[in-house]
Amino acid sequence: MKAFKFKLESVIQLRESKQAEAQQDHAAAGRVLEAALAELAESRAGHNALVQQLEEMQRATFRPAERDILWSALKYQKDHCNRLQHKADLAVKDREVKREKLLAAQSEHEAMLKLREKDELEYNRVAAQAERAMVDDLVNSRHAARQRPG
């Protein structure tokens, strides 16, 4: 009997490539998220530094114009933090979407591998059964040949 060959091997290869692509997309989304979070942390640190500077200014004597400049910078920094937070939230959602696609691709690939394994087990069972039948036929024909007179 010839060797087992899975008819849907090309589908397995396609699913493997989709899984690899989904892994790359998920990793890229993770890197984007990490960058967004780092940028947000840096912006928040800048905001906190401005808050600290304003507190120090209010303890000492200051000119109202300096305070207004600091308030404007603080407002800008807060708005910037909000924009970065929104960007990070979008990156989290994108990474979650990519994670779901990765899980789906992995599931589809695993399903095809299980189907191949099931088909191979069935093929091997049928081959073993055919081999037993062939051996039984051979034994029976020898036995029948010995039973013939002459």
CB atoms within 10 A of CB 17: 12
pLDDT at 150: 57
For residue 63 the two structure tokens come to 């000119």
pLDDT at 15: 96
Task: State the Cα–Cα distance between residues 117 and 129, nearest whole angstrom.
Answer: 18
Q: What DSSP character marks residue 4?
A: P
Q: Please, what is the Cα angle at 74 between 68 and 76, to 5 degrees?
A: 105
- Compute, in degrees rounded to 10, the torsion defined by CA atoms 20, 21, 25, 31: 50
The CATH number of 12-147 is 1.10.287.1700
pLDDT at 73: 94
Identity (one letter) of the amino acid at 56? E
Model confidence, pTM: 0.74
Q: Which residues of the chain have pLDDT under 50?
A: none
